[in-house]
Structure 1
Amino acid sequence: MKTLSVFFACISIILCLQSCKRETSNSNSQTPETTLKQLLPANTSIRILIDKSDYTLSVFTADTLVKQYDVVFGGNPVDDKEKEGDKRTPEGVFGVRDKYPHRSWSKFIWIDYPNASSWKKFNQRKAEGIINEGETIGGEVGIHGVPDGMDNIIDEKQNWTLGCISMKNKHVNEIYPYITKQTQITIQK
């Protein structure tokens, strides 16, 4: 009889733990509609990881992934930027030069391409003859939205920029307040 009582007590505890765990995970669950403002306090430092192979922009605080967004790139989404006009998105670790509203695609977050690492790669390629004399490194690369009503560009993974990272306007507007000149932006293959 005592063994049966212990058995039912254990079953009750297990059922309660599973139920409590389910309730907790449901109440804290994040949906794609959950905004950064709902997930992060104001003035929280973030870092950005852009993965070209996954078409994602991920927002981190320290080492914690907070939210992920779909993005697209330049006409050649695979290769690292070599020079101006190659329609490639640069790879590396960048900072933020500036950010401002943009009349064509909501907001523009201007990354510091070319930086010292970009120039080193450019000069090495030039020395190897990959880049011809007179060709330039380019610039004005950033993260921005899409023309009004063109969110389908992102949904359909149409790489349409000249080398920038493009995301839906509501998403660039969402990350915009959290971007500072100290924000680290890593772009990887």
Structure 2
Amino acid sequence: MRLIFLVFITLVHLNANTILDNYRLNGIDSIEKQLDLELTKKEYWDRVLKTKDTRFGYSELYSSFLICDKNSSTLTIYKQDANNTYVQKKVYNAFTGKVNGDKQREGDLKTPVGIYLINDRLSKETKLDPFYGPLAFVTNYPNLYDRMRGKNGSGIWLHGLPINQERDDFTKGCIAIDNQSIECLDRNIKMDKTAIVIYPSKPNFASKDKLSFILSQLYEWRYSWLYNDVEKYLSYYSDDFTRFDGMQIDTFKKYKTRVFKKDEKKTIIFSDISVIAYPASQDVYQVTFKEYYKSRTFEFNGDKTLIVRLDDMNKLKIFIEK
């Protein structure tokens, strides 16, 4: 079905006779390569994004965004409507960490700045301490980018307020909203379809133009990977690249060069793609997706995270990968 759909789209936007002649003379593989090349073109992604709500980035996964502005002490929920537009549903007053700034280490009383997911939901049924109200959502702090920058600590939650006691007007690093609000939030989000984005102050969002450029570059990276162009593939990695397991760029290049020498036919499919401008960072983006990879010697089906930047030449550079 994927190939049929891509053929149809390509026939609409390309010369139909040319693509049919290519298929007639060279077979289906040549058509697939031509279609894969089309996915690398910014013009294609401009069309994809034209009618999409991309205020918070490009996402094929998240139906809700929770935007926390630490400066104004607010947490705002945006939820997709029937037209896939993110509609503001509620603005909650929020308590954040006692100390200003981005969290760096355990016990510094700071709320982190970044992009986070919800790993768990705690309640009285799971013996949640009443100090945290009726509900608490556990985030994935420290995320990959946090860990690679040496940040530590844990237990950054989005929770309610003490049920039977007073509390200060700040937290030890969590985000806290009143109990009626946390219960309202619980009714309005799906945990696995929600991203929490925490900003030090006013959010920084990416333009459609930059998002379509990043997506085209993502698929150029995929194209070079798919068709065994190791030099082009490695050109997308920055000199300060570090893989999640600590592998540095020189070792990574040697490793990938050995893999590419196998010259294997591959299947590489990306789905549930999200591209979000990283809070308080200049031209840094978190790119996540589901990756299906299959070759003669290896198969993978799981989550992929890239932390990328746009360099001075306006080229996408991967500097963290998992």
| TM-score for the superposition, normalised by structure 2 | 0.37
CA deviations 1:116-154 (Å, max 9, x no partner) are: 01112326xxxxxxxxxxxxx11111100111156885x
Residue aligning to 1:168 = 178
In structure 1, distance between residues paired with 2:139 and 2:193: 11
1:84 aligns with 2:106: yes
Residue aligning to 1:75 = 98
In structure 2, distance between residues paired with 1:109 and 1:174: 13
In structure 1, distance between residues paired with 2:136 and 2:149: 25
Which residues of 2 match residues 94-105 of structure 1 at below 5 A? Answer: 94-101=116-123, 102-104=128-130, 105=133
2:153 equivalent among 116, 138, 154: 138
| TM-score for the superposition, normalised by structure 1 | 0.62
In structure 2, distance between residues paired with 1:162 and 1:179: 26
Which residues of 2 match residues 48-59 of structure 1 at below 5 A? Answer: 48-59=66-77
Q: Offset at 1:99?
A: 0.8
Residue aligning to 2:6 = none
- The size of the alignment, in residue pairs, is 127
Which residues of 2 match residues 99-114 of structure 1 at below 5 A? Answer: 99-101=121-123, 102-104=128-130, 105-114=133-142
Gaps of 5+ in 2: 1-61, 81-85, 201-322
In structure 2, distance between residues paired with 1:151 and 1:170: 16
Whether contact under 8 Å (1:109, 1:176) holds in the other structure is no
1:188 aligns with 2:188: no
Deviating runs (4+, > 4 A) in structure 1?
149-153
In structure 1, distance between residues paired with 2:163 and 2:105: 29
The 3-state SS of whatever aligns with 2:183 is helix
Paired residue type of 1:103: D
Residue aligning to 2:65 = 47
The 3-state SS of whatever aligns with 1:72 is coil
Residue aligning to 1:60 = 78
* 1:121–1:58 Cα change, 3 Å: same
In structure 1, distance between residues paired with 2:122 and 2:66: 18
Higher share of residues assigned strand: 2
CA deviations 1:47-95 (Å, max 9, x no partner) are: 100110010000002432121000011211x200000000100110111
Higher relative contact order, chain-length normalized (CA < 8 Å, sep 6+): 1
Paired residue type of 2:91: Q
In structure 2, distance between residues paired with 1:72 and 1:179: 23
Whether contact under 8 Å (1:151, 1:168) holds in the other structure is no
In structure 1, distance between residues paired with 2:165 and 2:180: 12
Q: Offset at 1:166?
A: 0.6
